Each structure stands twice: as structure tokens, then as C-alpha cells.
Structure 1
Amino acid sequence: MTRYFSQDHEWIEVDGDVGTVGITDYAQGQLGDITFVDLPAEGASVGKGDAVSVVDSVKAASDVYTPVSGSIAAVNEALADQPELVNTDAETGGWLFRVTLSDTSELGALMDEAAYKTFVDSL
């Protein structure tokens, strides 16, 4: 599986034509304690860059943008009762949704892990 990162601090891990999306550890650290996650509807069509989810924290509510176009294949139901998973396990168990990619070429506009680290270090 290959992982990519957006400048909006989302990550996507791609396996075949399905990508698992979440926010980065950096993003969750900036937000503080997550109190609620509003997830997209399964089956919804989404376009690259669309705001599809909202993460509420003690500091602010923040939109989560899909880094690719496609349709929502699944959502992380565990976040309904445990939104803090985004804080404690942001880049694995705290994933937000899965999307079936409609255009894999969109991945080319995203960063790999090294490029994302350089991007975050410049902030």
C-alpha cells in the first residue's frame, strides 16, 4: 500500500482502487482534543478537494477534504463512540473514510511522506 499526503494535512493510503483517508498526526496535534467527527454518507460521490467531513475539537471545528475524487465506500463507525481515536491513533485506527477512486492520476498531485515532512517543517 502506498501513502500520500495533502497540503490540507490529510493522508490517503491506497490499496488497489480504494483509499483510506484520515488526518495527519500533525493536524490532530494542531486541533487538540477531538470531541466529535461528522462522517460522510456511504455511497456519496465526492470530488477532489471537496469538504466531506468535519472534525470538532476543543479548539475549533475543521473541515476534512477528500484528496481524490470517487465515492465513499465506508466510514469509520468506531469514531461515533470514540472520536478521540483521531488523537491517539490518527494515522491508523483513527481513519475517517474509505473512497473508491474514480481517477488514480489525481494521486500524482499529492506528496509522499518525505515531501510532507519537509512541508510541515517549513510551517
Structure 2
Amino acid sequence: MPQADKRRATHRLTRRTYSLTSRRGPSWPMIMLGLLAAACAAAALAAAGFALVTSRENSKKADALCAPPMSEREIREQLSKARIALDHEVATRLVLQQQATDSAAEIHQMRTDLAFIKKQRDKSN
């Protein structure tokens, strides 16, 4: 009986071998579909890279803004250092102003002495 089954028409129709590849070459729409899929994948990778870079920059900015507040002791130390620096600057300015005043007075005295000496020299010649 098995030989009779092999000769049956319905049996012969189902004895085909099937493969996952087509017997024809790739068609134009399939090539375009593949190119479109490749372009979409490249665009998705580029967008993911851009998002990664942007998120890193934003997280750095957020970290800088969300720094823990300074303690009261640190604020007092900075304030005292700033006051010392300001006092030093005020003292330095006062000294420089006094030196400028003294120098101006000395220059004025030297000019009057020079004018007197020139008059004496002119009289003697």
C-alpha cells in the first residue's frame, strides 16, 4: 500500500522542497526597502548619540547647579578672608596716596629749586 500512496497525485504535489530564499534575484522594491531600513537605522544611531551627548552636558550643568550648600563655618571663613583682603587693599591705597602726595610735594620743591638755580646761573653769566 505504501507504493500506491507514493503515486497518488496529492502526494506528488506536496513533495516539494521549500527554501527561505527566493528563486529570483532581489527585486527593486526589496532593494529600496533595505536601503530605507538602513537609512532609518543610521538616523536612529545618530539621534541616540546626540541624545547621549546632550544628556551628559545637561547632567553636568545640573550637578553644578545642585551643589550642596556651603556650611555656615565656610561662609564665615570666606567672609573673614574677604574682610582681611579688603583691609589690606585699603591700607595699600592709603600708603600709595601718601607716597603720591609726598612725591608731588618733593617734585614741586625740586622745580622751585631748579628755577632758582637757573636764575642764579643766568645772573652770573
TM-score (normalised: structure 1): 0.12
Q: Which has the higher contact order (CA 8 A, sep 6+)?
A: 1
Larger radius of gyration: 2
Could you say which structure has the higher helix fraction? 2
Higher strand share: 1
Provide TM-score, normalisation by structure 2.
0.11
